[in-house]
Structure 1
């Protein structure tokens, strides 16, 4: 029997085949484990804001959801549940009036009791165009918010729009009445002390290092959180994130490297798991207003030239479900016929290219993200270079930090961009945001199709799943015909954590959930 490693350097070299250990500074290899009731988690990218109504980065929603809560929430299994409301809303027969009864045991971190006035204030602030909230377009169908009594609030919609309730759980928060004017937006962005109801109270933000929270001793869910302090660190390098975990410096890491994931999760004192998501898509944002992506046959040629299954199996080691449409293969609304229209077929790719304005191929700049975001897009981008070269398309890679890339995409300044796009895991969000005009990322494609918009409106007014499946299927066929955006597949959420961590569950709704975790 071989001798066991006697120190951390040997341990890493033996357990990770030396590939990760060779990149690590000695200060990590000999660091002491984290002790006490502090839960430390790691994200691969730097957050921009804690404010939920201006949130860009889905990974960073762990910050906003520690401080802020809403009427409803998604649990780790992607199930919609009441949060600050006592129950899911009562909905009128015309599907335009939603009534929530609120919990009577919730206080803000400043000690103020939460009431319906706070809910109305929060939504009125969000909906005021002068406040320029990034997530406002998701909620503009809310025409009026009315306080019925101190613990009951009513929302009137301008038209049926059942999906808004699902978006609350990610892109909204309840704030004390008057607090946004009192403190200003920068306060909510980077130091929101006293203005939330969540399980963690903001403590400190150390730029490019960490953000910390202390336990809310008056949290309405008794007994939670089990930790005294939460520290969220930002570490973009795969090897360093893994090293912090293996040496006990952190408890949970996000976005472990797919190539190493299966091996790492079986190492001593470490465990891990992954779950397929319904809302995380690996997308190629094709700017249809810029050549050569202005030609539909050229866009379809690109799609048919991509071997998504090989990307899923060989690049991401099973942490991607391949598909060419904006619907996850595991989702009840997935249309396999639409997927076939854009599936890998080099002969069809060459036929589409021949019919395009660019029959001899073209050159394209693809903007990609420097930091991993559930998956590292650089790996897929390099594979695409080789794939698309087979039909005469040359790919140039341009790498940007997340904060730069997402704004470039939002303004439509890119030619093509590749990024993992997060949604709450329901059928309309990705479609609405990327290919319906007037939304946050609609300039990413520049696409405008009245037929698709009409189908989306019909989906908003429908609640019966069988009818919705038919509508969503038609939407996917419209997009398969026009190929306004490239889709590689839907990602799996994955995490690694120390065995001392209890009650942690990989979150199918994508944001890392730590309120119930014990250390």
Structure 2
């Protein structure tokens, strides 16, 4: 179903990598074949993206599946009532008896039921928690984290999200960032320590690598402190690249053109993106945050390469997330995320060697080479490590975060009121 072209799967299909075929060998065994060794499949198979789904529900088609009322899986909860944009309810699967090791207990979930409410406004979401309307709330904003911590009725937990950190991917095939000097100037112009501290009010962590420190068997700790803010060096690089002039607003110019970095943004530019925009202005670089709510327009720009930089992050508890962003075959037009438009045979070889390697230490060493290359060539500028925060009433117990930092409800229970 995932690899069927009619499904138009992108990320899940990408997780299958060099998938070739599957053979059902018994009611409880399946043999999956690949065109080459592919160790990341083991971790990928543990995610919801490759979760086991009922063939009957899949046959109902994309429209029914996207409506959110017909999907059938194998988890500890069954899908209940669903109101689009408002709430999703779940009820306990009384037959559940296959919890993984380390889940905390066995058998059916402790909760009879629970409901997820979709509250997008930060103040309203936190207010619903402090007033007792909900038992827990996710995505607590930095501005309110302190108040939550001080409330004796509440707890606040935070976990760094593994995978690709929030970062700026520079279009190496574009006219502007095809020059490595300009890429390095962009990399050194932003005081990330100051910005992350200011925007996230002490609750954020500046990133030094494309990968989060919590990404298993892959993060290269030696990169920490290896490329600090250096405006003088950035200025020298821009001078060397020919961007010596200045316009009335202080932006650098070359041959009558302003040094403008085009950044497509779906929806609204974040507070952090705007802070980076202000920081780059000090260096004479104009960051154009081209915000749009037209998904087709944004994706069209990405697919055709009509941009200079893309800011994004992606959670995954495996270093192979690097392949989704740097493997030459992972183009945007093909459903991939190689927004830096990297096409380097050395990088491809390192990533494929890592995919074939089952020794964790050896895989980590290969991923370290890729991380160092990406920073040396300034094809990516890591910004900050995303955090998943969950605040809860102290009467809530057993609500924990998975290795991917998602909330897990299987072991949760609530004291009687």
Aligned match for 2:316, one of 406, 409, 424 = 424
Mapped partners of 1:319, 1:285: distance in 2: 24
> Residue 126 in 1 paired to residue 2 in 2?
yes
TM-score by length of 1: 0.68
Q: SS where residue 470 of structure 1 aligns? A: helix
Number of residue pairs matched by the alignment = 387
Question: Which moved further from structure 2: 126-135 or 479-488?
Answer: 126-135
Match of 1:349 among 210, 226, 234: 234
* Matching residue of 1:364: 261
**Equivalent of 1:518 in 395, 413, 416:** 413
2:85 aligned with 1:208: yes
- 1:420-499 → structure 2 map (5 Å cutoff): 421-429=313-321, 431-439=322-330, 440-499=335-394
Give the alignment's Cα RMSD to 1 decimal: 2.8
Task: In structure 1, list runs of 5 or more residues that go unmatched.
Answer: 1-124, 372-376
2:220 is aligned, of 335, 347, 355, to 335
1:372-411 alignment runs, 5 A limit: 378-400=270-292, 407=299, 411=303
Deviant stretches of 4+, over 6 Å: 402-406
| Superposition deviation, residue 298 in structure 1 | 1.1
- Superposition TM-score, scaled by structure 2 size: 0.83
- Unpaired runs of at least 5, structure 2: 99-105, 246-251, 253-258
The partner residue of 1:310 within 194, 210, 218 is 194
Once the two structures are TM-superposed, the CA of residue 142 in structure 1 deviates from its matched residue by 2.5
Deviation at 1:252, TM superposition (A): 1.7
The separation in 2 between residues aligned to 1:484 and 1:366, in whole angstroms, is 15
Aligned to 1:83: none
Looking at structure 2, the residues matched to 235 and 405 of structure 1 have their Cα atoms a distance apart, in angstroms, of 27
* CA shift for structure 1 position 455: 0.6
1:226-247 deviation line (CA, Å, top 9, x unaligned): 3333322222221111111111
Distance 1:190 1:415, change over 3 A: farther
1:180 aligns with 2:64: no
Question: Counterpart of 1:250?
Answer: 134
Deviation of 1:475 after TM superposition, in Å, equals 1.0
Change (3 A) 1:280 1:477: closer
In the TM superposition, what is the alpha-carbon distance from 1:163 to its structure 2 partner? 0.6
Farther off after superposition, 159-168 or 281-290: 281-290
How far did residue 450 of structure 1 move?
1.2
- CA shift at 1:428, angstroms? 1.8
Aligned residues of 1:434 and 1:443 also touching (Cα < 8 A): yes
Q: How far off its partner does 1:338 sit? A: 4.9
Residue of structure 2 equivalent to 1:323: 207
